[in-house]
């Protein structure tokens, strides 16, 4: 654990002038206050206060007392683009007690419970994003007018036109010690992904939060907008944030998901974890695919490139990208339901709880699927007993409401709040008449 003294040393050595004392609310978008470096001691004691109601969905009304951000110095990150400023993730406290509506605190609670059982969750995340331009008439399009291929994935020429952008990010991540190891042009026009090395789930959640902000910052410096929105364009593939997951022994730091002798390279424990993810998949979706737009990504109707690459069914398989859980290699599993809008803290918190429930109840993973599920007929899916992920946010919320394990993971009070906020979001969406309705109904009825 980094102490105030450790940070004071970094301030000295690196000439840090300011901190950004930061936290996230339900959307996962970071909020912060600037704190001059000579107030480090005060900040550590909780000098950064916030009017929570103004910050977003974090369980506060305009009448509530200040929320206090208590920084966790293990997350200290010097901004690569402004090296005299350092960002630090915090936990929210109110009236001297941890605030049950703080997503980082919710994840830490799950991490602590898992550690008591001897487990550490390690995660790696693949947050995809699109570079877009907003026109003055409100419309939006991919930012590079030359990036027009029907199958743009891995296109070297489009990658080359964006090398300044992506290599800047790669250098920054390298400087931060995240060990980025690959970057590609993804399946939608102007869509990219950068992969970095996995870590314990809290470290990855902090990095995921910082990453989204860093990508947007660098994009803005280059005159465009980076968006992690799950499905910005109906004719293009959406933005996933696939989670690669493994459980490790808390004492020995060995991967408990690994079994070299198994056909998928997975242990019994890993199969039960998959059983848990499948058992709770419908409720998990309310958190891992958390907005109205998320469900426009989780479809099988192909965009222009030929495949959504996003899951629709609750299945697992080998390196098969048409389903919810892929096994990319020995000792880890990939949850492909998670999208760019998922809160970096809440998503792993609920996945961990669901997986551990699978282990505790010895839930089976079921049969490995190797088919192209986008082309499997409804009859065949039914015959194989394959279930569907929710098709709307509202449906996912119904599932969450019924799921004790996922609700407990969020904390009952927060879970109920989450459902209230999200139902309201659904209602606002549902109450607005769309262009599609006008195009299809106005002349007909």
Distance of alpha carbon 328 from alpha carbon 326, whole angstroms = 6
- 30 versus 127: smaller Cβ distance to ligand GLU: 127
Residue 240 dihedral angles phi and psi, to the nearest 5°: -85, 170
322-361 positions binding ligand GLU, by CB under 6 A: 336
Q: Cβ 238 to ligand GLU, closest distance in Å? A: 4
Q: Does 128 bind ligand GLU (CB under 6 A)?
A: yes
- 142 versus 415: smaller Cβ distance to ligand GLU: 142
By the criterion CB under 5 A, which residues form the site for Mg ion?
193
Please list, in sequence order, all residues whose beta carbon lies within 8 angstroms of the beta carbon of residue 51, skipping any fewer than 6 positions away: 60, 62, 66, 67
Q: Cβ 179 to Mg ion, closest distance in Å? A: 18
CA separation (Å) from 36 to 44, 51, 141, 178, 353?
12, 20, 39, 26, 39
Q: Cβ 147 to ligand GLU, closest distance in Å? A: 16
Q: Which of 297, 315, 347, 357 binds ligand GLU (CB under 6 A)?
A: 297
Q: Which does 336 bind (CB under 5 to 8 A by kind): ligand GLU, Mg ion, none?
A: ligand GLU
Site string for ligand GLU, 30-69 (x = CB under 6 A): ----------------------------------------
Q: Does 321 bind ligand GLU (CB under 6 A)?
A: yes
- 238 versus 355: smaller Cβ distance to ligand GLU: 238
Chain centroid offset of residue 254 CA:
25
- 207 versus 321: smaller Cβ distance to ligand GLU: 321
DSSP line for 209-227: HHHHHHHHHHHHHTT-EEE
Show the beta-strand stretches assigned E in 128-190. 129-134, 140-142, 180-185
**Closest residue to ligand GLU in the complex (CB):** 240
Distance of alpha carbon 279 from alpha carbon 261, whole angstroms = 26
Residue 326 dihedral angles phi and psi, to the nearest 5°: -105, 150
Q: Cβ 336 to ligand GLU, closest distance in Å? A: 6
173-202 positions binding ligand GLU, by CB under 6 A: 186-187
Q: Which does 297 bind (CB under 5 to 8 A by kind): ligand GLU, Mg ion, none?
A: ligand GLU
Q: Which does 272 bind (CB under 5 to 8 A by kind): Mg ion, ligand GLU, none?
A: none
Q: Exposure string (b/e) for 123-150, b if CB count within 10 Å is 16 or more? A: bbbbbbbbbbeeeeeeeeebbbeebeee
Pairing of strands 332-335, 30-36: unpaired
Q: Which does 25 bind (CB under 5 to 8 A by kind): Mg ion, ligand GLU, none?
A: none
- 240 versus 355: smaller Cβ distance to ligand GLU: 240
Distance of alpha carbon 335 from alpha carbon 326, whole angstroms = 7
Q: Which does 310 bind (CB under 5 to 8 A by kind): ligand GLU, Mg ion, none?
A: ligand GLU
Q: Angle, to 10 degrees, between the axis of helix 281-288 and the axis of helix 346-360?
A: 170
- 85 versus 307: smaller Cβ distance to Mg ion: 307
Nearest to 359 by CA among 198, 125, 124, 118: 118
223-262 positions binding ligand GLU, by CB under 6 A: 237-240
Q: Which does 238 bind (CB under 5 to 8 A by kind): ligand GLU, Mg ion, none?
A: ligand GLU
Q: Angle, to 10 degrees, between the axis of helix 268-279 and the axis of helix 346-360?
A: 120
- 206 versus 339: smaller Cβ distance to Mg ion: 339
Over its C-alpha atoms, the chain yields an Rg (Å, rounded) of 22
Instruction: Let me know: does 316 contact 369? Beta carbons within 8 Å.
Output: yes
Would you tell me which residues interact with ligand GLU (CB under 6 A)? 128, 186-187, 237-240, 297, 309-310, 321, 336
């Amino acid at each position: 654990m980094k102490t105030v003294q450790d940070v004071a040393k970094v301030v000295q050595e690196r000439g840090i002038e300011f901190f950004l004392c930061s936290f996230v609310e339900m959307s996962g978008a970071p909020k912060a206050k600037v704190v001059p470096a000579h107030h480090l001691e005060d900040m550590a004691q909780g000098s950064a206060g916030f009017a929570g109601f103004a910050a977003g969905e974090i369980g506060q009304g305009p009448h509530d007392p200040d929320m206090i951000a208590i920084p966790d110095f293990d997350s200290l990150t010097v901004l690569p683009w402004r090296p005299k400023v350092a960002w630090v993730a915090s936990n929210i406290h109110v009236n001297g007690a941890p605030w049950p509506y703080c997503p980082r605190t919710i994840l830490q609670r799950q991490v602590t419970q898992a550690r008591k059982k001897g487990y550490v969750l390690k995660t790696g995340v693949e947050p995809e994003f699109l570079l877009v331009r907003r026109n003055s008439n409100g419309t939006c399009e991919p930012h590079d007018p030359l990036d027009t291929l029907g199958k743009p994935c891995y296109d070297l020429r489009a990658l080359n036109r964006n090398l300044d952008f992506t290599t800047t990010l790669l250098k920054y991540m390298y400087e931060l010690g995240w060990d980025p190891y690959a970057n590609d042009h993804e399946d939608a026009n102007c869509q990219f992904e950068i992969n970095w090395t996995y870590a314990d789930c809290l470290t990855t959640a902090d990095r995921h939060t910082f990453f989204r902000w860093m990508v947007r910052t660098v994009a803005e410096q280059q005159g465009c907008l980076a968006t992690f929105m799950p499905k910005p364009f109906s004719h293009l593939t959406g933005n996933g944030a696939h989670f690669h997951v493994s459980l490790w022994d808390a004492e020995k730091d060995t991967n408990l998901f690994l079994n070299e002798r198994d056909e998928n390279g997975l242990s019994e424990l890993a199969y039960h974890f998959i059983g848990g993810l499948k058992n709770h998949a419908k409720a998990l979706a309310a958190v891992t695919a958390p907005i109205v737009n998320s469900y426009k990504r989780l479809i099988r109707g192909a965009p222009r490139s030929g495949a959504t690459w996003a899951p629709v069914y609750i299945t697992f398989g080998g390196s098969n990208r048409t389903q919810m859980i892929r096994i990319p290699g020995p000792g880890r599993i990939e949850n492909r339901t998670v999208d760019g809008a998922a809160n970096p803290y809440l998503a792993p918190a609920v996945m961990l709880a669901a997986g551990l429930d699978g282990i505790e109840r010895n839930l089976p993973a079921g049969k490995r699927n190797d088919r192209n599920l986008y082309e499997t007929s409804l009859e065949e899916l039914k015959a194989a007993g394959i279930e569907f992920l929710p098709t709307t946010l509202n449906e996912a919320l119904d599932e969450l409401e019924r799921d004790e394990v996922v609700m407990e993971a969020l904390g009952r009070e927060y879970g109920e709040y989450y459902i209230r906020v999200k139902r309201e979001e659904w209602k606002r969406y549902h109450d607005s008449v769309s262009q599609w309705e006008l195009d299809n109904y106005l002349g007909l009825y």
